[in-house]
Amino acid sequence: DAGITQSPRYKITETGRQVTLMCHQTWSHSYMFWYRQDLGHGLRLIYYSAAADITDKGEVPDGYVVSRSKTENFPLTLESATRSQTSVYFCASSESLGGLAGSYNEQFFGPGTRLTVL
Instruction: Kindly list the residues in this chain that would bind another protein in the complex (CB under 8 A).
Output: 31, 33, 35, 40-45, 48, 50, 56, 58-59, 90, 92, 94, 96-98, 101-112
How many C-beta atoms lie closer than 10 Å to residue 22's C-beta? 15
Least gap, CB of 77 to another protein (angstroms): 20
Least gap, CB of 3 to another protein (angstroms): 11
Residue among 17 and 57 whose Cβ is closer to another protein: 57
Cβ-based neighbours of 73, under 8 Å, separated by 6 or more: 22, 23, 24
In whole angstroms, what separates CA 38 from the centre of its chain? 14
